[in-house]
Structure 1
């Protein structure tokens, strides 16, 4: 027999289930023994060619369908909508809370779906997961055909019931979606395809990737070792949240067979609140699929193996047989993008329906580049983890050509830095333009509450490089974990005025390299410190439950150490530097002065000395001082408190306050006192005066910095 589709045995078993026939009934109709049918189903044998025609007749289909077995027979249970009935206790959910966790924002959608695709990547073949976004506005006949395929006439009463209930938050979005559809005769579809991914594998209802995405809420189904990007199971909800109609259709090609098949596993899910349609009260969600004969009354809809024509009419055609999943967001909109009101580019012309499609296209490209530039960057002669593109169509015709997201365009400086790290082309310190400096930053891992988690020091990798002209913003440090999605991107505070604009990257966990100590432990720890948006590290409930209550401080300490390391790589005070000019004003006099306190008897004799100062006058009139302190052997037992005094011709001078002070190298600020790293020979600090305490602007008077010393805790 031909074997172009499913194996004959599993295919026959499914057709018997769909048609409600037993093996005995088929045997009687075909004229064979029940044992023969059992042997076909269990794959111990296949029917003779002359019997195939009889099987086709018994199943109500044609011989070609039995030979190819790439679809189910048409005699099975129908494809349609199943709406979950009201709960037995008559409780009501007025919407799926998961869909409100994020804004209706295509930028957020790009981030969340990109993260999910990275987590689902097939890594054994060394190829990237390929992510493609397709915006498609359909009108006229194409719209009518799509609505017929999705059985709109059956759906519409449910939308009308929701839109008519002004008490429900969802009703406003549904009203807008219906208005756009009926008054403008158009529908915006947004399809998200990934290739070289796992696909929605596994059982329909039990624990599986498919069930986690299609059947459940707040089920991430990610691996237990904590290296994946997602952890809350909320990311998929952005698909439904971006649909004004709460409708998403799915077509998946599986990496592992289910029911003997891998291609065209199709299903739809609708997210609406509680509603009453006619005499029937409904709980909320609904599924589009084939009636499941194994459920009571065959009412529940399950996925089905769709034929080519159905996939085409539902706008779910995938470009090849590579495993992965296609999600179609029906009635896509971008509330956040519209609110931002970003104008069209110079080379863009508004069309009859405004600039909505072009704005959404551009925001998708920007979001993919901003969040996944590192995942799109690879070492020489290797391929990246992710490739992404965006295209826009109108009624099947190209409106905006497919645009591949280029990390070197999205983040040129940081891409250069990461590539230098991957190609082992970094330096210890920046001496020339275009170089990438590399340093390590410690992350002290806390023990877990269960007592089993490993403690240790993970060495994150810090990269710093000059910013490319025109980049905005600059002086930003982007941080990430192993999947290389940007988790945190914040300005580095306290950078001295006049420093060259730079960009920095902090690689943690497995992103720091295969040999980075405690990489997996760092992945688990930092993942627990991420909120559902995965856009920062903070004290979360997961972190509190799994680690000590003060564990979040380890992250803060790592970030502060990274900031200090950045500034050390950028600016080191030159010995015997003179005062600098700022805005034409000359700081006529600035002098270091060390004032040791009386030393307790028996204490150390070596004292730190303020050896050098580098002053800068800031635009608001404040002084910014970068100072170097020499620490002789044994001098690290002292503490130092810098004070600022405006010079006077006579008298003690006018003391002014510091607005901020920080340790740059081998020291930290504790209660206003600099404490030195054990064994340090010198230390660097930076401080900024409070202009509100200055009688004159910086540069109009001399400044004296005094160093008061205290020994130990005295």
Structure 2
């Protein structure tokens, strides 16, 4: 018979749960207290016949005493514990971490899938499987669920928050969630299950995955360099997506805790400060079994629930594979309203307001599928010896009945061109140049890694891998974009390629950096560490961050800007159309035209000054101005060297001058010491530049740019 926890620690906890002392148990068993003490201290174990007496004393069956894989049901009941108000009178208007993200199911999908990838059990080679279940409850199903979560005990707290909702942003969201449930008679649950993952291992309070997720804020507990998270903010999206601030959790552990692994359950609620029956409460609350070791046995800890309990909480998992289920109670998707067509006429406003339902379960379903396919297509793609890291699916129910069948997210459907490119790389079938439809071109792009600690110099050069292929006719992702990703294969950065020639065929590109370029790639680990530090909490770009500045230097982000420039240049080389040698069409066209010949202008003998003729400018990911400029060059024997100068436009006074972080020649010129030297005989030239963000006196989005060409040294 399989046994779990050691007898002594198990018995000690059961006595605490039942409110009994060692002396009480010894008296019931007609034994000495020393005998019970020996069991507790693991010096001995009771005889089989005594096991039966212990089971009767604890109100359980003898099998539970023998196996010790669960707690007895005797003792303190499951209840809510609300954190008392601060003794110094301080008040919180909600969990600040939740304000880092919008109530957006697409943001939720990105953060939760990233966390599941980080917790994947890699030893078995299988992907982590993540399933999203949207479940709308009404009628009797809603009543039964509210009873299971002890809603009557929570209602006074929600009522207090609603009464003060005018003073708190979180309070207004909670008030709207409660009103929706009562006025429309519905509640939307959104469950996130992962399988083949670590589960919430560790003690309720000490360092471990459980405490990091359930007890703490800003604790990521991520150790691998390829991990996506680093701020500990991602889990806050679970509570941010709940209009009631309530999430229930059921975890199957990959490593036993207290001798068991299945159905470790707890709930956590995030509310602002409130007052109930004259007593102030700080904010968070937990659903669990009162901890007998806490003062007054008030603090709730996780408990090992039975199958009936997890079913009533809508937390039943498929099988015993390790992983965690998060149930978001009162899920809403405010950001889904942003992409609805706006009302165009005044009479349409009322209809538009009525159509704005943040709990439209079918719309949630589609937005989840879109987000998973857009951000995790690479993690779901395998080929050659590389296996997929992730499988995802979405299903939608109403009162247990299927509304939208389970939909497996297929990267080939969502991102056909990029999936083809990645598979070609894995299978070794890439080419150097694109000559036929369907080919995938590969090119290495250098990332020059800086030395840490502000030391000047380069640690080494990591070779990222760029893949480019033509976009398929069925689309699947924005054209002419580069998706950049690292070890966990989540798309971190999506960026267009500026300055493409007119008539460029639509393409899609992928940049593999760090471990995504191959674990054997030089400096792959160092690239992972560097780029992870360069990601903000949203993990949607690489650039200047506080961690990057502290660990490397204030200018370390320029290495990433240079990687972007090198990538864009490589893309343009790979997609450039070869010039045709056939000039028959041109000759025929010239014969069909009448051209008025004009007297050739006399070539000036003195120096001529080039003029700025065209300018394109965009704002980059780091807030820098990215400029592409065309220069018109007059005829002449001597062309004056010019210096491009970037300035901020102001209403009065001198224009603040911006430094160039990058300045490169494209055509008809060369860059030497910040000046443009033009090719003899050229009539036009082109150059590109990016400003140094550290030289900006104000944010780029609040400024206007002026670019001039100046002769001499540019003064």
Shorter-chain TM-score category?
0.7 to 0.9
Match of 2:169 in 1: 169
1:108 aligns with 2:107: yes
Deviation readout 1:207-236 (Å, 9 max, x if unpaired): 11111100001110110x532100100000
1:562–1:329: structure 2 CA closer, same or farther, 3 Å change rule?
A: same
Match of 1:456 among 455, 460, 469: 460
Distance 1:412 1:321 in 2: 34
Which of 417, 423, 431 matches 1:419?
423
Partner residue, 1:95: 94
Distance change >3 Å, CA 596–CA 90, structure 1 → 2: farther
TM-superposed CA distance for 1:23, in Å, is 3.7
Distance change (3 Å), C-alpha of 1:669 and 1:561: farther
Q: Compared with structure 1, are the counterparts of its residues 495 and 596 closer, same or farther at alpha carbon in structure 2 (3 Å cutoff)?
A: farther
1:445 is matched with which residue: 438, 444, 449?
Answer: 449
CA distance in 1, matches of 2:524, 2:439: 26
**Pairwise CA distance, 1:193:** 0.3
Equivalence for 1:406: 410
Q: 1:453 to 1:372 in 2, by over 3 A?
A: farther
User: 1:220 maps to what in 2?
Assistant: 220
1:134–1:391 Cα contact (<8 Å) kept: yes
The corresponding residue for 2:393 is 389
Q: Paired residue for 1:281?
A: 280
Contact map agreement 1:136 1:393 (CA 8 A) in 2: yes
Superposed CA offset, 1:561-581 (max 9, x none): 000001111116649787998
8 Å contact kept, 1:10–1:260 = no
Quick check: 1:56–1:66 contact (8 Å CA) kept in 2? yes
Q: In the alignment, what sits opposite 1:680?
A: none
Matching of residues 226-625 of structure 1 within 5 Å:
226-341=225-340, 356-380=360-384, 383-449=387-453, 455-471=459-475, 472-571=477-576, 574=579
Shift of residue 664, structure 1, vs aligned partner: 5.9
Following TM superposition, by how much is the alpha carbon of 1:19 offset from its aligned partner in structure 2, in angstroms?
A: 1.8
Cα deviation 1:134-157 (Å, max 9, x = unaligned): 000011111111111111000011
CA contact (8 A) 2:200 2:253 kept: yes
Q: Structure 1 pair 181/643, CA: closer, same or farther in 2 (3 Å)?
A: closer
Distance 1:204 1:664 in 2: 60
Q: CA deviation at 1:9?
A: 4.5
1:354 Cα deviation from its structure 2 partner:
9.9
The 3-state SS of whatever aligns with 2:167 is coil
Secondary structure of the 1:432 match is coil
Report the CA distance between 1:53 and its aligned residue.
2.3
Counterpart in the other structure of 1:79: 78
1:105/1:335 contact within 8 Å kept: yes
Give secondary structure in 1 for the equivalent of 2:266: strand
- The equivalent of 1:638 in structure 2 is none
Q: How many angstroms apart in 2 are the aligned matches of 1:461 and 1:230? A: 23
Take 1:587 and 1:562, find their aligned partners in 2: how far apart are those partners? 45
Give me the whole-angstrom Cα distance separating, in 1, the residues matched to 2:119 and 2:285.
26
CA contact (8 A) 1:662 1:685 kept: no
Aligned to 1:133: 132
Contact 2:481-2:495 within 8 A present in 1 as well = yes
How many angstroms apart in 1 are the aligned matches of 2:553 and 2:604? 41
The 8 Å contact of residues 225 and 532 in structure 2, kept in 1 or not, is answered as: yes
Alpha-carbon distance between aligned partners in 2 of 1:93 and 1:122, rounded to the nearest angstrom: 38
Post-superposition CA distance 1:378-433 (Å, at most 9, x none): 12365310000000011011111000110111111111111111111111111111
* Matched position secondary structure for 1:455: strand
Q: CA deviation at 1:197?
A: 0.4
State how far apart, in whole Å, the 1-side matches of 2:436 and 2:410 are: 26
Structure 2 CA distance, aligned partners of 1:567 and 1:299? 65
Output one character per residue of 1:307-328: Cα deviation in whole Å (capped at 9) or x when no partner. 1111000000000100000000
Structure 1 distance, partners of 2:542, 2:411, is 24
Separation in 1, partners of 2:101, 2:232:
13
Please tell me whether the aligned partners of residues 487 and 534 of structure 1 are also in contact (alpha carbons under 8 angstroms): yes
* Shift in Å, 1:341: 2.0
Structure 2 unmatched runs, 5+:
343-353, 608-612, 617-628, 647-661, 689-708
Number of the residue aligned with 1:211: 211
- Corresponding position of 2:145: 146
Residues 623-682 of structure 1, C-alpha deviations (whole Å, 9 max, x = no match): 99xxxxxxxxxxxxxxxx98535899xxx9xx9x99999656999756462799xxxxxx
Per-residue CA deviation, residues 541-572 of structure 1 (Å, 9 max, x unaligned), is: 11111111100111000001000001111116
User: Contact (CA 8 Å) 1:374, 1:415: kept in 2 or not?
Assistant: yes
Counterpart in 2 of 1:602? none
Change (3 A) 1:674 1:396: farther
Gaps of 5+ in 1: 344-349, 599-620, 625-640, 677-683, 689-707
Structure 2 contact 333–359 (Cα < 8 Å) conserved: no
Change (3 A) 1:541 1:53: same
Inter-partner Cα distance in structure 2 for 1:4 and 1:194 = 27
Cα contact 2:504–2:576 (8 A) shared by 1: yes
Structure 1 pair 661–299 and aligned structure 2 pair: CA distance change class (3 A): closer
Deviation at residue 58 of structure 1 after TM alignment? 1.1
The answer (yes or no) to whether the contact 1:189–1:330 under 8 Å persists in 2 is: yes
Shift of the 595–280 alpha-carbon distance from structure 1 to 2, 3 Å rule, reads: farther
Q: Could you tell me how far apart the structure 1 residues matched to 2:438 and 2:512 are?
A: 20
Task: State the superposition RMSD in angstroms.
Answer: 3.9
Residues 108/79 of structure 1: CA separation in 2 closer, same or farther (3 Å cut): same
SS of aligned partner of 1:510: helix
Given that 2:78 and 2:288 are in contact with CA atoms closer than 8 Å, whether structure 1 keeps it comes out as: yes
CA contact (8 A) 2:196 2:321 kept: yes
Q: Where does residue 156 of structure 2 map in the other structure?
A: 157
| Secondary structure of the corresponding residue to residue 201 of structure 1 | coil
Distance 1:264 1:622 in 2: 66
- Distance verdict in 2 for CA 1:275–1:260, change over 3 Å: same
Matched residues in 2 for 1:335 and 1:39: separation?
59
Q: 1:5 to 1:260 in 2, by over 3 A?
A: closer
- Aligned partners of 1:109 and 1:279: how far apart in 2? 36
Deviations 1:257-291 (A, max 9, x none): 11111111100000001111111101101111110
Distance in 2, matches of 1:452 and 1:396, equals 62
Contact 1:567–1:664 (CA under 8 A) maintained in structure 2: no
Match of 2:14 in 1: 15
Q: In structure 2, the residue corresponding to 1:52 is in which secondary structure?
A: helix
Describe the shift of the 1:389–1:180 C-alpha distance in structure 2 as closer, same or farther (beyond 3 A).
same
1:644 equivalenced with 2:647 (yes/no): no
Change (3 A) 1:538 1:623: closer
Structure 2 length-normalised TM: 0.80
CA distance in 2, matches of 1:354, 1:133: 17
> Would you say 1:197 and 2:197 are equivalent positions?
yes
Kindly tell me: are residues 517 and 153 of structure 1, through their superposed partners in 2, closer, same or farther at Cα, counting changes over 3 Å? same
Query: Does 260-269 or 468-477 show the bigger shift?
Result: 468-477
Distance in structure 1 (CA, Å) of the matches to 2:496 and 2:333? 28
1:65, distance to aligned residue in structure 2 (A): 3.8
Q: Distance in 2 between matches of 1:86 and 1:517?
A: 53
